[in-house]
Amino acid sequence: MSSTRQSSARRYSPEEKTLSRAKYGLKGFLLFILPAPLLVAAIISLMRGEIFSTLVTGTAFSGFMISAMLARKGFKREGKYQRSRFAKAPGVPFKSIAGIFFGVTTGLTALFATSGGFSLDHIFNSVFMGAAALLGFYFSYGLDPHKDKTGGVSLSVSADEVFEALEAAEIKITAIETASKNINNLELDQHLRRIIKKARNIVETIKNNPNDLDRARKFLKVYLDGTQRVTESYAKTHNKNATTDTLDANFKRVLNTIEKTFDEQDEKLKEDDRFDLDVKIEVLETQLKREGVV
């Protein structure tokens, strides 16, 4: 592989990813704090028996909180998008929806919670405040990402094919995670947790350099397909209380093989950004059958 390609590939960095996740996790925290006076006002109005005022301030507080929760969801998706070199744009524009909620709630609060009735001037002022709040939200937090990121890489296949392969990989990893929850064995559970973590690390590395999609897809098929099948099969047997010491030992041995292979492939990715994937899926299937797990 050429040195140009090696230098252009972005290395996976857990520390950088953790810092970025923390940044987007805290983003918009003030949106949850600012409506607090409305909650206090609603409680005071309720204690005084002022039903209309309670409804107005309570509804306003709820509107701002909904906006904050939608924004937080948008920030998280934006953070995941920004951390990846190759990623689909978020499908639902949560930040935009949150901004609209924020602006509308501000306008309605100004209309109903302040004096002025429904005079033309008061309505205009309320609309103006709502529009100003909407613009302020977008200037502070920006719009949702709307373009897919391909990282400037040159692909021999379409971006949609890469997205499809990565989404399929995530589905398989999630299936392994779900099946592992049905296995009441601490040692095996910890084993599977390590495998799941390593699988996600490898998927993230693939996202950062998707040029070798064919090889990457082959890797994902060989080991993720095999790991998913063996884990789901063992979990079903485990739920029926049909496991034996021999079966447990065989399953553990298979997991050891899978985890070792994940480590080897992860190291090769870090070294030269390519896969050595001459192993066919039949090899893993043969081992699983030989061990009596499937």
Reduce the DSSP state of residue 87 to 3 states and report it. strand
Please enumerate in sequence order all residues whose Cβ is within 8 A of that of 2, keeping only pairs 6 or more positions apart, or say none. none
Predicted pLDDT of residue 6: 38
CA angle, residues 99, 100, 104, in degrees to nearest 5 = 120
Contact 254, 291 (CB under 8 A): yes
**pLDDT tier at 10 (50, 70, 90 boundaries)?**
very low
Question: What distance in Å separates the CA atoms of residue 193 and residue 199, rounded to the nearest whole number?
Answer: 10
- In the 8-state DSSP scheme, what is residue 211? G
Intra-chain end-to-end CA distance of the chain, in Å:
38
How much of the chain exceeds pLDDT 70, in percent?
71
Q: Return the exposure string of 268-290: e unless at least 16 CB atoms fall within 10 Å of the residue's CB, then b.
A: ebeeebbbebeeeeeebbebbee
**pLDDT tier at 282 (50, 70, 90 boundaries)?**
low
pLDDT single digits (tens) 36-90: 999 999 999 999 998 988 999 999 999 999 999 999 999 988 887 887 777 777 8
Q: With 80 as the cut, is the pLDDT of residue 210 above it?
A: no
Q: With 50 as the cut, is the pLDDT of residue 233 above it?
A: yes
Q: Which of these, 13, 24, 109, 21, lies nearest to 58 by C-alpha position?
A: 109
Contact 132, 107 (CB under 8 A): no
Q: H/E element holding 163? A: helix 159-180
What is the separation of C-alpha 68 from the centre of its chain, rounded to a whole number of angstroms? 18
